[in-house]
Amino acid sequence: MSCRGTIVVIMLSSNKKLKTDIMKKLIFTLFCCTALLALTSNVANAQSYKTALGMRIDAGDGSTGVGFNVKHFFSRNGAVDANLIFFDGNVVGLGAEFQYQAPIAGARGLDWYLGVGPNFLFGKHSTAVQLRPTAGLDFKIPNAPIDFAFDWRPMFTLNQGTEFTAARFGISLRYAF
């Protein structure tokens, strides 16, 4: 059985109300912490950020995951975006992508990016190795330490043959510094 099959089986046997309550509390807590940091920070950065730390929701075809996300720039256009995502049914995803990012002319704070990198899913009885290309938009609010990202994150699962899942998307909310 593939890891994806394991996720579905475990997800069907789990308490959905409990997981929904936990996810709502996690999202609310992270949003409040980010808002508090934004309101109490005296950092006014009109240029791009160097590092951003926050949360990511990974959703689409299959299980939905919520977890931690960090993005760090090594140059103006080169960044690494790393994730630790918790999916339904005790599945944990760990991954990182190298991303090329560039500004969109005339849209202050809005960049586009393309990237690719490995992702690993660790389940109770299986591990999946994936290749995850990304394409998305990153918006750093001018004069505020808040960054949003939305991306298309298809996945190639490389265990026991190759399986392609196109309908995967990510949403990130991060504190930029």
pLDDT in tens, 32-54: 544 444 443 333 333 479 999 99
Q: What is the pLDDT of residue 35?
A: 47
Number of domains in the chain: 1
Place of tokens 């046997």: 13
> Nearest CA to 123 among 154, 157, 82, 151?
157
Q: What is the CATH number of the domain that holds 60?
A: 2.40.160.20
Measured over the CA atoms of residue 125, residue 65, residue 73 and residue 135, the dihedral's sign is positive
Q: How many CB atoms lie within 10 A of CB 93?
A: 24
Q: 110 pLDDT exceeds 70? A: yes
Structural domain including 82 reads 3-176
160-154-159 Cα angle (round to 5): 10
Q: 116 pLDDT exceeds 70? A: yes
